[in-house]
Amino acid sequence: MSVGESDEGSGEPAPTIASALESLRSRLHLDQAFFVDLDGNAVGFRGALSESEREYLRQALDDGADSGVLRLGKLRFNAAAAPVKAPVTIGWVVFANALDERELGALAKLSSIKLAPHIVPAGDLPKSQKIGTITEERVNGERFLVQASSIASFRSDEPQVLLLRHSVTRALAEYAPMLWLLLASGLVGIVMAGVGSWLLARRISRPIIALDAAARRVAKGDYAQVQVETRDELGTLADSFNRMVDDIGERERQITHMALHDGLTGLANRMLLREHLAMVLGRPAPERRQALLCLDLDNFKVVNDTLGHPTGDALLCQIAARLVAVAGDGFVARLGGDEFAVVVDDADRPLDRIAHGVIRAIAEPCMVNGHRIVPGTSIGIAILHEDGEDAVTLVKHADLALYRAKHVGRGGFCFYEAAMDAEARKRRQMELDLHDAISEGQLSLMFQPLFNLAESRVSAFEALLRWHHPERGTVSPVDFIPLAEDTGLIVPIGEWVIREACRAARDWPDHVRIAVNVSPVQFRSPGLKTVIIGPG
């Protein structure tokens, strides 16, 4: 499954996850519903897990286990798991029911004959017992028919087997009076009883065999139905089995749709976009050019902050509808937040005209929850096969082109160029260096005097920030101030500038003031007031 990204990209706290899982567990009547993070911590697990059990569970999930028998300590569970992505995998959600006597007893009731089901490790089977075959054994003089069936397990190195035992001795004992009666009735009665027994056995065994075959196919993931020919208990069981298979198929379709589509807009999500790109890239390159357009809404955060998230969500739904309309036969996906992607070709019109059309379509004013909003967008374009041969590379390059388009000016589009990779790496390195600039003393202030002509004296100084990089030398504020604002580093840097300027001005004459430039990002920070006037 996939996690929708918020504007800030933060995750839910563990108590909230545990509460949500507990609610889901209660509604689905499950024994366990918990979340396992990448470190093996289980949130919402009812009980205690040892460190080895957490590592065993994490390793099985990391190896791709998604359903089957899960052993935790002395307990076994019938479990199913799915990865949680935001957009990369951050953990797994696990649903499980304990395979205790109650659960196995319920399994035994599915048959009209008395069965004793048990789940045992495959290594504990006797050599005479083969998987899928029915054997006979004697226990304390009583005859049993035993069948072993393989079942799915979370660990490939710990295969589990379902043993079904049926007492032949007890079954035959129920027919003893009938046998005595048949013997007393003579030869004619014996012949009639033989024919009747053969018909009865055939009637009982055929539905059971059909149910067993259908159950095996369902266990393999196939769709299987059992033809209902009778109206007795076996017919009722077969009808219930068919309804169960239909329900499982419908739930699987719903889960698959939820895993591959955005819950808000109904568009394809990032995972389905990657599958679509992989499918398109796997075909021979067509004569027409195909492109991936990545776009996000300009100033969408302002809509959320001023009009509220419900209005922001409604706006996203309108934008999604516009993209579907303008894309035509193209593929439209929502990547998260206010980010969308469109896969189109230039069969009908050039790619730049398509990009202009998308910008114009989104820029049309709209009424959302009684508010008039004029949205805007910027677009980054990557050409399939030319700018990348796999989905990850194409999305990365389209994002780089989108960043360039927003940097040049909002409301435009930009095609990917190879030089953008180098710029992105340089920007990333400068961001890493800027993190260390304060702690390593690379920042300093210079003071520019402000002369008061009326008083013929210096009345104030403006504090100017300088960065002396040990390798690059003096870095211009034009280069690092915008980067600091984009990454949020301007907040701690601005706090350092204010404190350093005040410290320097503390010994100046009373008539000399100090001026410090403050970024708009700092004004949105709740800690600015505390930095300037102190706590309280």
pLDDT in tens, 159-173: 888 878 777 777 777
Within 13 Å of residue 238, how many CA atoms lie on the same side as its CB? 22
Q: Would you state the pLDDT for residue 3?
A: 38
Pairing of strands 413-415, 377-383: parallel
pLDDT mean over 79-96: 88
pLDDT band at 54 (very low <50, low <70, confident <90, very high): confident
- What 3-state class would DSSP assign to 475? strand
pLDDT of 463-493, one tens digit each?
Answer: 888 888 888 788 888 778 877 877 778 888 8
Which tokens in the block code for residue 535?
């706590």
Cα separation, 511 vs 520, in Å, equals: 28
- Pick the closest to residue 445 from 493, 478, 507, 508 (CA basis): 493
Query: What confidence tier does 6 reach under pLDDT thresholds 50, 70, 90?
Result: very low
Q: What dotted CATH number matches 261-416?
A: 3.30.70.270
pLDDT higher than threshold 70 for residue 361: yes
DSSP state of 153: B
- 102/176: higher pLDDT: 102
- The 8 Å CB, 24+ separation contacts for 251-256 are 255/82
Q: What is the pLDDT of residue 333?
A: 94
What pLDDT does residue 241 have? 74
Return the ∠ at Cα 486 (arms to 485 and 487), rounded to 5°: 95
pLDDT at 202: 67
The answer to whether the beta carbons of residues 2 and 86 sit under 8 Å apart is yes
Question: Model-level pTM?
Answer: 0.46
Question: Which of 175-179, 366-370, 420-424 is most confident?
Answer: 366-370
Which is more confidently placed, 403 or 7? 403
What b/e string do you get for 240-273 counting C-beta neighbours within 10 Å, with b at 16 or more? ebbeebeeeeeeeeeeeeeebbbeebebbbbbbb
Give pLDDT, residue 1: 46
Tens digit of pLDDT for each residue in 234-288? 677 777 777 887 777 778 788 888 888 888 989 999 999 999 999 988 888 777 7
Q: Which amino acid is at 290?
A: Q
Mean pLDDT of 439-457: 82
Q: Return the pLDDT at 9.
A: 36
pLDDT in tens, 98-153: 887 787 777 777 777 777 787 878 777 777 777 878 888 887 878 878 888 888 88
SS3 149: strand
Nearest to 421 by CA among 404, 441, 445: 404
Which pLDDT belongs to residue 435? 81
Higher-scoring residue by pLDDT: 194, 90 = 90
DSSP state, residue 286: P
How confident is the model at residue 522, as a pLDDT?
Answer: 75
Percent of the chain's residues with pLDDT above 90:
10
What is the DSSP code (8-state) at residue 330? S
How is the chain split into domains, by residue range? 16-98, 217-259, 261-416, 426-533
The yes/no answer on whether domain 426-533 falls in CATH 3.20.20.450 is: yes
Distance CA 219, CA 108 (A): 17
Q: What is the pLDDT of residue 86?
A: 80
pLDDT of residue 342: 93
**Percent of the chain whose predicted confidence (pLDDT) is above 70:** 92
pLDDT score recorded for residue 4: 36
Strand 134-139 and strand 290-297: pairing? unpaired
Tokens of 240: 């219930």
- The 10s digit of each residue's pLDDT in 515-533 is 888 888 777 777 777 777 7
In the predicted structure, residue 317 carries a pLDDT above the cut 90? yes
Evaluate if residue 14 carries a pLDDT over 70.
no
Q: Give CA–CA dist 384/283, Å, rounded.
A: 11
CA dist 466 and 95 (Å) reads 56
Distance CA 536, CA 529 (A): 10
Fold adopted by 16-98: Beta-Lactamase (3.30.450)
